[in-house]
Structure 1
Amino acid sequence: MRALTVVPLQGDSLDVTDVPEPGPDTGDLLVDGVALGVCGTDREIARGEYGWAPAGHDRLVLGHESLGRVREAPEGSGFGAGDLVVGVVRRPDPVPCGACARGQFDMCRNGRYTERGIKERDGYGSERWRVEHEFAVRLEPGLADVGMLLEPTTVVAKAWDQVERIGARSWFDPRTVLVTGAGPIGLLAALLGVQRGMEVHVLDRVTDGPKPQLVADLGATYHSDPADDVAGKLRPDVTIEATGAVSVVVAAMANTGAYGIVCLTGVSSRGRRLTIDAGSLNREIVLDNDVVVGSVNANLAHYAAAADALAKADLDWLRRLITRRVPLQRAAEAFQPQEADIKVVIDLSAA
């Protein structure tokens, strides 16, 4: 069968190659691949910056934003042929650490976890794949066009979970949220903010293309002014930072309401330097009881929350997040960003 593979840490190795059929040792559900979302992590791996192949293998099957249909499922698994499913990305470490032992493998303490399509486990970028039934998530049939958005939605479901857990240390009644970045993570974070009944503001540098209208159609407000100006005027109760741009990160941290919570989901590049008044920033965080928290990955509870959020969302709005679809044999095109891109998807079932 065909799969999208790379040689980790080797640039220009991305290719559609023939690989063996997945064996039962990789999962008790046999799934026909439907589609695969492409994100920044995939592009980093394709550039040779990141990634690990499974032990004893030179190539890694890419893909962690999965969507498939069950072909075969064992009795008692809770799944049946035809079910629309997504595979969970991370697996607990084998020791396990205390967090992994309690199902919180997104918070692994010793780094010995593995990840499908990223770290020591083949991903979901193949015509067929297997997954353990306990690491598969069933989606509503109506999400067949957009189900690959589940994994990025889990990232923001976890971010919101972290915000709400931290807020609960004292009286917490947030009204205003600022989301920085209007890529898939930012737009999905805004969606979950709207679903919580909050006043949502989204900041991005572009002024045309689909992003402003997508934000408006959520009932949120779109901004393209400098981050300091927007955040300084809003003084939001919650900020979900989804750019990783250091100037935006600092602006978000420096401009919150009292008891403000900033959740960082964007990963910054190393070596970016910025001159800031660290004393003033520290003073504001301390005196206002502010919190800055990093958040990455997701556990099974976040997958369930994300599936629920997508099921409640406007389906046409979700479809508009997917701005390009390419067939598997032309998968390399998905790794060449275009100006109007939001989410690019590889069709695994196309001939």
Structure 2
Amino acid sequence: MRAVVKARSGPGAELTTVRDPEPGPGEALLQVVATGICGTDLHIFDWNPWAAARVHPPRVMGHELAGLVLAVGVGVGSPKVGEMVGVETHVVCLTCPQCLRGDFHVCQNTRILGVDIDGVFAERVVVPARNCWPTAAHLDPASIAFQEPMGNAVHAASQGQLRDRAVVVTGCGPIGLAAVGIAKAEGAARVVAVDRVPARLKIAVAMGADEVVDTSTGGDLARALRAACRGDADVVLEMSGHPALINGALEVISPGGWVSLLGLGDGVDSIDLSTQVVMKGVTLFGVTGRRQFQTWEQTSAYLTSGRVDVHPILTDTVSITDFERAVNLARSGAVGKVVLYPPDRW
């Protein structure tokens, strides 16, 4: 079959032929129907220091997926052949202390599709059957594939109360944009979106943001946030990993507020913990991945009920065979989620 492969160390990737996968016991073989490109894929394509330390080529790239079940291995009761599924991309060991207590999202031995094991930028992929999440018939493939990144936003937004709160979302990539929609759906009194890319802020408005703060214009971030919130913020959903945004948000968080930290930055961040966190009684949550499978239940409910419509985020579609154009689109920052579809013929 054909697949996008990180064939060797260094920048780039190539469309090439790889062996057809076959499902073993407890596994499912999926036909790739739609997939999304994200920051992790860009890091691997560009071969940044994280990718060079983590990824061992050759590796089929990609992890966000809507897939059609073609076959299952021995011992699989669900999913069924013919079902459309989303896929939890963190493959966990089930035996470490974290897994044994049900905290699968922080498994000590997590393997990630497209990073540690072969991924989904391909015609077909084999995944553990337990990682498949059956979906409602009316959901389109792009929305099904988007459940995985949206789940990060759901996990971050589920750490505390949002109703009647002033919520700031820092960083309006696809996950941050989903967080805007979730906060609005949960009845936040005010949702403020922060980013430096005007095109993303327009999508944030479409997702329900009451106010936006464009950091590309400079100025006093804390003052701009207070003006947008009409006072202090009660909740911050931090998706950027940018120290200036984190510190600006902490400056305006109200005493007793809470902050979810999902964004990953470069280097060491300096935070005034004594003044901005301890003395104000602020609660910080470090968030990684999705709870298996509580987060999937929540995410699926948002989408199937229509409480959150993610279509404004799904801005561009590209054939998997035109992968480099998809990379350049995603890297531009001027789009939402780039969705990859397989061609009619590989």
* TM-score tier after normalising by the smaller chain length: 0.7 to 0.9
Q: 1:112 aligns with which of 100, 109, 114?
A: 109
Corresponding letter in the other structure for 1:205: R
Unpaired stretches in structure 1, ≥5 consecutive residues = none
Q: Is the 8 A contact 1:323 1:340 kept in 2?
A: no
> Relative to structure 1, is the Cα distance of residues 41 and 53 closer, same or farther in structure 2, using a 3 angstrom cutoff?
closer
1: CA distance between counterparts of 2:248 and 2:204? 24
Could you tell me how far apart the structure 1 residues matched to 2:30 and 2:224 are? 46
Inter-partner Cα distance in structure 2 for 1:80 and 1:288: 51
Question: Within 2, Cα distance between the matches of 1:334 and 1:87?
Answer: 21
Give the AA of the match of 2:124. R
Cα 1:53–1:249, aligned 2, differ >3 Å: closer, same or farther? closer
CA distance in 1, matches of 2:178, 2:285: 19
Question: CA distance change for structure 1 residues 227 and 11 in 2, over 3 Å: closer, same or farther?
Answer: farther
Residue 326 (structure 2) pairs with residue 327 (structure 1)? no
Kept after mapping to 2: 8 A contact 1:258/1:288: yes
**Match of 2:278?**
286
**Equivalent in the alignment of 1:87:** 87
Say if 1:322 and 1:213 are closer, same or farther in 2 by CA, change over 3 A.
closer
Task: Please say if 1:266 is aligned against 2:263.
Answer: yes
Deviation, structure 1 residue 216: 4.3
**Paired residues for 1:281-320 under 5 Å:** 282-300=274-292, 301-313=294-306, 317-320=309-312
How big is each residue's C-alpha offset from its partner over 1:56-103, in whole Å with a ceiling of 9 and x where there is no partner?
xx4111111111112234686233333221121112236x32111233
Give the superposition deviation at 1:284. Answer: 3.7
Q: CA deviation at 1:25?
A: 2.7
Residues 275-330 of structure 1, C-alpha deviation per residue, up to 9 Å, x if partnerless? Answer: x7x3xx51342222102222111132212211212223368x42221222111211
Q: 1:177 to 1:216 in 2, by over 3 A?
A: same
2:335 matched residue in structure 1: 341
- Of 253, 257, 264 in structure 1, the residue corresponding to residue 254 of structure 2 is 257
User: Which residues of 2 match residues 18-33 of structure 1 at below 5 A?
Assistant: 18-25=17-24, 28-33=27-32
CA contact (8 A) 2:4 2:15 kept: yes
Higher alpha-carbon deviation: 20-29 or 322-331:
20-29
Distance 1:341 1:118, change over 3 A: same
Say if 2:118 is the partner of 1:122: yes
Give the secondary structure class of the aligned counterpart of 1:237: strand
- 160, 167, 176: which one aligns with 1:186: 176
User: Aligned equivalents of 1:129 and 1:212: distance in 2?
Assistant: 35
2:50 is the alignment partner of 1:60: no
Cα RMSD of the aligned pairs, angstroms, is 2.5
Distance across 1 between alignment mates of 2:226 and 2:335: 29
Deviations 1:156-183 (A, max 9, x none): 111123x22xx7xxxx975111111221
Q: TM-score, normalised by structure 1?
A: 0.85
Query: Which amino acid in structure 1 is aligned with residue 171 of structure 2?
Result: G
- SS of equivalent to 2:197: coil
Q: Tell me the TM-score normalised to structure 2 length.
A: 0.86
- Residue 194 of structure 2 is matched in structure 1 by 203
1:19 counterpart letter in structure 2: V
Give me the whole-angstrom Cα distance separating, in 1, the residues matched to 2:88 and 2:240: 24
Which residue is equivalent to 1:2? 2
1:18 to partner: Cα distance: 0.8
Indicate the SS of the match to 2:138.
helix
Matched with 2:238 is 241
What whole-Å deviation, never above 9, does each CA across 1:16-45 have from its counterpart, x for those lacking one?
Answer: 111111122385322110111111111111
Select which of 148, 156, 161 maps to 1:159.
Answer: 156
Residues 219/263 of structure 1: CA separation in 2 closer, same or farther (3 Å cut): closer
Corresponding pairs, count: 329
Instruction: Report the residue type matching 2:14 in the other structure.
Output: D
Asked if structure 1 preserves the Cα contact closer than 8 Å seen for 2:30 and 2:126, the reply is: yes
Amino acid at match of 2:37: V
SS at match of 1:117: coil
Q: CA deviation at 1:230?
A: 3.0
1:228 match: 222
Q: Secondary structure at the match of 1:268?
A: coil
Provide the rounded CA distance (Å) in 2 between the counterparts of 1:130 and 1:76: 13
Alpha-carbon spacing, 1:282–1:17, altered in 2? closer, same or farther (3 Å): same
Unaligned runs of 5+ in 2: none
CA distance, structure 2, for counterparts of residue 26 and residue 319 of structure 1: 36
CA-CA distance at 1:14 after TM superposition: 0.7
